[in-house]
Amino acid sequence: MHKIHELSAILADQIAAGEVVERPASVVKELVENAIDAQSTQIDINIEDAGLKKIEIIDDGIGIEHDDVKIAFKRHATSKINDQKNLFMVRSLGFRGEALPSIASVSDVHLKTSTGDEGTQIHIKGGKIEDIKPSDSRRGTSICVENLFFNTPARLKYMKSLRTELSQISDIVDRLAIGHPDIAFSLVHNHKEILRTSGRGQLKQVIGDIYGAKNLKKIIKISNSDNDFTINGYVSLPELTRSARSHITINLNGRYIKNYSLVKAITDGYGSKLMVGRYPIAVLNIELNPILTDVNVHPTKQTVRISKEEQLCNLVAKTIYDTIYKENLIPDVMTRD
Ligand code: ADP
Ligand code: MG
């Protein structure tokens, strides 16, 4: 009798879910990223009770072929990379093949998908396929996640108030919309619309949709490049600030990332013009050869290692400094210690 045995697929998926699916906002992030990778032009997100009751994402992307539907829910199954070389050059948002099996292992999932000529629908509950059958053939995918964490009560108990969970969802959708101005997003919570973007491709317009059109007068464009990096985006003038860093969005080759050094580089760019404890609204898009990055650091793919990070930070700070001081619209009234 062996003491050591392989875990069942469902148990392994639930363990992975512990990292990938921390809260409803993580489900929204993973599913919207899948819709983006599927070349969708429109992504509609319907949420009930901050995602704990229902998360539904409808896209008009390439869909999944009938024979691939079951495989998509298997751990480490992906259409996005196939060898090690791809891993180091990855440009798609997904590549780990973990989201669908992880989410399905801790909820009740109904997925309907079509490539345009054949449609499939599948129902999976707690990682077990309940039903799979043909469906209509409208191109795209809709996925509905209900009763999240129904079989992991400890995780369910850890959820914060509905308000907090909803604000996390709204935050991630804002950032994904900012990173993809060419996709029309809508976010509806309990039948009330929270966000709608046009998908017409104008980053500035998306910023207006999120932060208010009247603020656009106080937001200016930045752009610069060196041998390794191209940066562009928008930053607010020092008179338009927020009390939290969370209105700074950094996208690296189209992927929303968290990076403290870059946030600091952005605020450093304001020199003495920001009041202590105030942060700008900023969107920084960075393009670089993917070989200079390692996205495979954490299951949520939000931490990315960047070679030459210091050089990048210097470029960002200098570009913002030059742009803000050239504008020279307000006097240097505030000092930071
Ligand atoms: P990953 O995104 O890392 O590849 P996922 O578990 O999120 O892994 O998805 C598995 C596969 O299912 C994807 O590689 C993709 O082929 C397919 N897929 C998932 N969602 C969609 C979607 N909305 N549209 C088309 N294909 C999808
Ligand atoms: Mg994915």
- What's the rounded Cα separation, in Å, for the pair 249 and 112? 32
Establish whether residue 100 lines the binding site of ligand 1, counting it when its CB lies within 6 angstroms of any ligand atom: yes
| CA neighbor of 319 nearest in space, from 331, 307, 327, 330 | 327
Average pLDDT over residues 144-157: 93
Per-residue pLDDT tens for 129-143?
999 999 987 999 999
- The band of 86, judged by pLDDT with boundaries at 50, 70 and 90, is confident
Relative to the CA of 141, which ligand 1 atom is closest?
23
Domains (ranges, CATH) in the chain? 9-196 (3.30.565.10), 214-327 (3.30.230.10)
Report the nearest-CA residue for atom 14 of ligand 1. Answer: 78
Q: What is the pTM of this model?
A: 0.92
Write down the number of H helices and E strands in the chain: 10, 17
Which class for 178: exposed (0-12), middle (13-18), buried (19 or more C-beta within 10 A)? buried
Establish whether residue 72 lines the binding site of ligand 1, counting it when its CB lies within 6 angstroms of any ligand atom: yes
Per-residue pLDDT tens for 238-278?
999 999 999 999 999 999 999 999 999 999 999 999 999 99
According to DSSP, the β-strands at 219-225 and 248-252 are unpaired
Relative to the CA of 30, which ligand 1 atom is closest?
7
122 neighbors 131 (Cβ within 8 angstroms) = yes
Establish whether residue 141 lines the binding site of ligand 1, counting it when its CB lies within 6 angstroms of any ligand atom: yes
What would you report as the CA-atom Rg of the chain, rounded to the nearest whole angstrom? 21
pLDDT, mean over the chain: 92
Per-residue pLDDT tens for 27-43?
999 999 999 999 999 99
- What's the rounded Cα separation, in Å, for the pair 240 and 11? 49
Establish whether residue 250 lines the binding site of ligand 1, counting it when its CB lies within 6 angstroms of any ligand atom: no
Above 70 in pLDDT, residue 13? yes
- Structure tokens that stand for 184 in this block: 């029309």
- The band of 103, judged by pLDDT with boundaries at 50, 70 and 90, is very high
Q: Which ligand is nearest to the CA of 100?
A: 1
Positions of E strands within 204-303: 219-225, 229-236, 241-242, 248-252, 255-257, 279-280, 282-288, 293-294
Above 90 in pLDDT, residue 190? yes
- What's the rounded Cα separation, in Å, for the pair 176 and 154? 29
